[in-house]
């Protein structure tokens, strides 16, 4: 006999479990279906465990440069297995936290794969594709996330060509690694493996690293990564990968030239596609295109009236905080709460390599393409007393303002822990704060955050610390 609910969420990532909790808070009898681990990709094999690995790399790098700070350290080494174990322990702790939240909010959890039998019923299947539960609900929220995209000529096999999940669970540290794709995933793993001693080659089709970012950011990261000893191949493609004994031979094409690079493993980091297959969407008429379910961006309703979709499966940007916000808005709409629609041009993006990258809004190029006359200011961390004291002078803050009205069009940062600085910009833009208001807002000294104010001052010709 089918179980009855007001709301059933399919998928328990940062979109799904947050939606379920908010639904329960609003009085809905709520269920959630998860085929693997509570917390989804982000908590188990994505955002959280990768940040734990990156922290291990940061600690290693700090010890490596301890002499620069007058601290003598002898005989240290990277314990690759220990780093992996710590990462898994962090992920497991966070997943258990979601389990606690489900119980605390009286949300019934069903383990298995959710497949639509009709628009009003989802069957829960076990590993043998046997139906173990039938769930009826007034409303369903699809939050099935996304999976690594594969290049047609380079299928992921888990041995020669691996994805990000495998990269964070390798049994042995590779001596040489080729990374295909220089987006957030690619450059984060590049930093981790390079820092602990792996010889890293990055291959990117576009002409700069992190190509979705402002061009100045990609250029700066490229310079820093080359200084760290990475082999950067932009404007290039991987044509083929061939097994050669215990390793691989990777054919890289740059323009008309081809070169074979030897490696132990190839990491494919060329983006993700929404998990739309095998969950019965075609049978009930839910429309999707190129791995993204089509939704109304205010209510998240799909082409079927009682079915909604949020997070990665509803299209980019593929960010955990975007998924969570969509989940909250979705269920608040269901409850008649009339939430503020999400501003998709004010979602911050963060990349946790070192130096970190954070951005929000228009790049300089995008703002000009939209027809704005812009004021641009840039403040390098080499002129920051706090950054100099920390020993992290690389990078800068770049701001873009509309010349006519002072609207803050965008902000782009690269530097040590700048992901902690971007929230100021998000709030300021949400409140329609102008450039002069940022300049007049007193920022504490010495901090990394005052670089935001300094960059704004540079945009308006009021900077005092660059001598220009």
pLDDT over 90 (residue 55): yes
Q: pLDDT digits over 200-239, tens only?
A: 999 999 999 999 999 999 999 999 999 999 999 999 999 9
Both 106 and 19 in a single domain? yes
| Local confidence band at 468 (pLDDT 50, 70, 90 cut-offs) | low
> Using CA atoms, how far apart are residues 408 and 434, in angstroms rounded to an integer?
6
Residue 115 belongs to domain with CATH number: 3.50.50.60
Both 177 and 51 in a single domain? no
Both 287 and 174 in a single domain? no
Both 262 and 295 in a single domain? no
Q: Which of 231, 254, 270 is the last residue of a domain?
A: 270
Which residue do the tokens 């389990």 mark?
A: 99
DSSP state of 163: -
Range of the domain at 98: 3-148+273-334
Both 182 and 248 in a single domain? yes
Residue 444 belongs to domain with CATH number: 3.30.390.30
Is residue 445 annotated as part of the catalytic site, yes or no? yes
Residue 8 lies in a domain: yes
> Using CA atoms, how far apart are residues 344 and 347, in angstroms rounded to an integer?
6
- The answer to the question of whether 82 is labelled as a binding residue is no
Q: Name the nearest CA neighbour of 198 among 218, 168, 166, 176.
A: 176
Q: Which helix (H) or strand (E) holds 21?
A: helix 16-25
Q: Which of the given ranges, 38-47, 144-153, 216-225, has the highest pLDDT on average?
A: 216-225
- Region 262-284 average pLDDT: 95
Predicted local distance difference test score (pLDDT) of residue 245: 87
Q: What is the percentage of the chain residues whose pLDDT exceeds 90? A: 93
Q: pLDDT digits over 18-32, tens only?
A: 999 999 999 999 999
Q: What mean pLDDT, rounded, does the chain reach? A: 95
For the chain, the domain total comes to 3
- The answer to the question of whether 181 is labelled as a binding residue is yes
Q: Name the nearest CA neighbour of 395 among 411, 369, 416.
A: 416
Contacts of 40 (CB under 8 A, 6+ apart): 11, 12, 13, 14, 15, 16, 17, 34, 46, 143, 145
- The answer to the question of whether 183 is labelled as a binding residue is yes
CA distances from 134 to 12, 47, 102 (A): 18, 32, 20
| Local confidence band at 41 (pLDDT 50, 70, 90 cut-offs) | confident
Predicted local distance difference test score (pLDDT) of residue 246: 87
Residue 46 lies in a domain: yes
**Which one is predicted more confidently, 36 or 335?**
335
- The answer to the question of whether 51 is labelled as a binding residue is yes
| Local confidence band at 466 (pLDDT 50, 70, 90 cut-offs) | confident
Residue 350 lies in a domain: no
> Using CA atoms, how far apart are residues 411 and 3, in angstroms rounded to an integer?
49
Residue 290 lies in a domain: yes
Residue 132 lies in a domain: yes
Q: pLDDT digits over 164-180, tens only?
A: 999 999 999 999 999 99
Which residue do the tokens 């782009």 mark?
A: 412
> Using CA atoms, how far apart are residues 303 and 298, in angstroms rounded to an integer?
14
> Using CA atoms, how far apart are residues 234 and 232, in angstroms rounded to an integer?
6
- The answer to the question of whether 187 is labelled as a binding residue is yes
DSSP state of 407: B
Both 10 and 112 in a single domain? yes
- The answer to the question of whether 239 is labelled as a binding residue is no
Residue 245 lies in a domain: yes
DSSP state of 169: S
Q: pLDDT digits over 314-340, tens only?
A: 999 999 999 999 999 999 999 999 999
Residue 34 lies in a domain: yes
- The answer to the question of whether 15 is labelled as a binding residue is no
| Local confidence band at 36 (pLDDT 50, 70, 90 cut-offs) | confident
Residue 153 lies in a domain: no
- The answer to the question of whether 232 is labelled as a binding residue is no
Q: What is the pTM of this model?
A: 0.95
Both 137 and 174 in a single domain? no
- Region 77-99 average pLDDT: 94
User: Which residues on neighbouring strands pair with residue 33, listed in sequence order?
Assistant: 10, 110
Both 45 and 23 in a single domain? yes
Output the 3-class SS for 224-288.
Answer: HHHHCCCEEEECEEEEEEEEECCEEEEEEEECCEEEEEEECEEEECCCEEECCCCCCHHHHCCCE
Both 299 and 243 in a single domain? no
Q: How many residues does the chain have?
A: 468
Q: Which of 270, 290, 320 is the last residue of a domain?
A: 270
pLDDT over 70 (residue 417): yes
Both 266 and 278 in a single domain? no
Both 132 and 191 in a single domain? no
Q: Which of 270, 297, 315 is the last residue of a domain?
A: 270
Both 115 and 204 in a single domain? no
Q: Which of 412, 436, 445, 465 is catalytic?
A: 445
- Region 389-401 average pLDDT: 97
């Amino acid at each position: 006999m089918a179980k009855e609910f007001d709301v059933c969420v399919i998928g328990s990532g940062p979109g799904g479990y947050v939606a379920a909790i908010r639904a329960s808070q609003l009085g809905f009898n709520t269920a959630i279906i998860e085929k693997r681990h509570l917390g989804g990709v982000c908590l188990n094999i994505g955002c959280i465990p990768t940040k734990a690995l990156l922290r291990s790399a940061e600690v290693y790098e700090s010890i490596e440069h301890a002499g620069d700070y007058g601290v003598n350290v002898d005989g240290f080494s990277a314990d690759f297995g220990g780093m992996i174990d710590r990462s898994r322990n962090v992920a497991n702790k966070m997943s258990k936290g979601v389990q606690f939240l489900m119980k605390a909010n009286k949300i019934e959890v069903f383990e298995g794969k959710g497949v639509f039998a009709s628009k009003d019923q989802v069957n829960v299947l076990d590993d043998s594709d046997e139906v173990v539960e039938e769930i009826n609900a007034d409303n369903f929220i699809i939050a099935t996330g996304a999976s690594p995209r594969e290049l047609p000529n380079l299928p992921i096999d888990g041995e020669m060509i691996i994805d990000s999940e495998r990269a964070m669970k390798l049994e042995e540290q590779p001596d040489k690694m080729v990374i295909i794709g220089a987006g957030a995933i690619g450059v984060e793993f590049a930093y981790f493996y390079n820092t602990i001693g792996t010889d890293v080659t990055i291959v990117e089709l576009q002409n700069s690293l992190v190509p979705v970012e402002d061009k100045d950011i990609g250029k700066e990261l490229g310079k820093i990564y080359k200084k760290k000893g990475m082999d950067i191949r932009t404007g290039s493609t991987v044509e083929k990968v061939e097994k050669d004994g215990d390793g691989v031979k990777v054919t890289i094409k740059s323009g008309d030239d081809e070169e074979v690079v030897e490696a132990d493993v190839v990491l494919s980091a060329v983006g993700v596609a929404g998990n739309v297959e095998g969950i019965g969407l075609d049978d009930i008429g839910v429309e999707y295109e190129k791995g993204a379910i089509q939704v109304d961006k205010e209510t998240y309703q799909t082409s079927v009236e009682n079915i909604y979709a949020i997070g990665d499966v509803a299209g980019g940007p593929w960010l955990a905080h975007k998924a969570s916000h969509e989940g909250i808005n979705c269920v608040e709409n269901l409850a008649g709460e009339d939430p503020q629609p999400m501003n998709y041009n004010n979602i911050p993006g963060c990349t946790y390599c070192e130096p970190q990258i954070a951005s929000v809004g228009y790049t300089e190029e995008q703002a000009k393409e939209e027809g704005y006359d812009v004021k641009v200011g840039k403040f390098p961390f080499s002129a920051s007393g706090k950054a100099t004291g920390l020993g992290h002078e690389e990078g800068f803050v770049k701001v873009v303002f509309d010349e006519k009205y002072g609207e803050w069009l965008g902000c782009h940062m690269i530097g040590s822990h700048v992901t902690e600085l971007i929230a100021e910009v998000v709030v300021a833009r949400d409140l329609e704060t102008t450039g002069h208001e940022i300049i007049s807002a007193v920022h504490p000294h010495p901090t990394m955050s005052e670089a935001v104010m300094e960059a704004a001052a540079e945009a308006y010709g009021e900077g005092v610390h660059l001598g220009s």
